[in-house]
Amino acid sequence: MARSVAAVRGRFVASLADRAAELDALMVLAETEPDARRFFLRAVEIVHRIAGVARTLGFSDLGDLAFEAERRLGTALPPAAVTTAAETAIEAVDHVVSCIDQITLSGQTAG
């Protein structure tokens, strides 16, 4: 059982760099394109998955940050243009990406 959990953690950590790169790209597009909504919708999908899996696998800080980013992205969704709520959501996603960077750079398997 412990081996299977370790394997799942390993796959999750290995996938984080790709998720961080996609979130970074989405937030750049959200800041530069006139209709940020579609980029926020995709980011909500990504951080929602991260939030659920991270907490389950022992990455509580990442899970908390992802949950907060999901909440803020949801708050920023109604308008099509970048607003104060959108800027706050982008900052929250940046925190998720920073936490992912810390995990992947340190080679953590739980935290």
Which conformational region is residue 90 in: left (phi greater than 0), alpha (psi within -120 to 50 degrees), or beta?
alpha
Query: For residue 79, is it within any domain?
Result: yes
Per-residue pLDDT of the chain (111 residues; tens, 9 = 90+): 667 888 999 999 999 999 999 999 999 998 888 788 889 999 999 999 999 999 999 999 999 999 999 999 988 876 555 578 888 888 999 999 999 999 988 876 554
The answer to whether residues 13 and 5 touch, using CB atoms and an 8 Å cutoff, is no
The residue range of the domain holding 78 is: 2-106
**Number of structural domains, the chain?**
1
How far apart (Å, rounded) are the C-alpha atoms in residues 88 and 50? Answer: 19
The answer to whether residues 97 and 20 touch, using CB atoms and an 8 Å cutoff, is yes
The answer to whether residues 13 and 80 touch, using CB atoms and an 8 Å cutoff, is no
Tell me the CATH number at 94: 1.20.120.160
Query: For residue 111, is it within any domain?
Result: no
Query: For residue 24, is it within any domain?
Result: yes
- Residue 28 structure tokens: 């750049």
DSSP string, 8-52: HHHHHHHHHHHHHHHHHHHHHHHHHSS--HHHHHHHHHHHHHHHH
User: What pLDDT was estimated at residue 78?
Assistant: 61
Query: For residue 74, is it within any domain?
Result: yes
Query: For residue 100, is it within any domain?
Result: yes
Query: For residue 23, is it within any domain?
Result: yes
Query: For residue 14, is it within any domain?
Result: yes
How far apart (Å, rounded) are the C-alpha atoms in residues 22 and 44? Answer: 12
User: What pLDDT was estimated at residue 111?
Assistant: 45
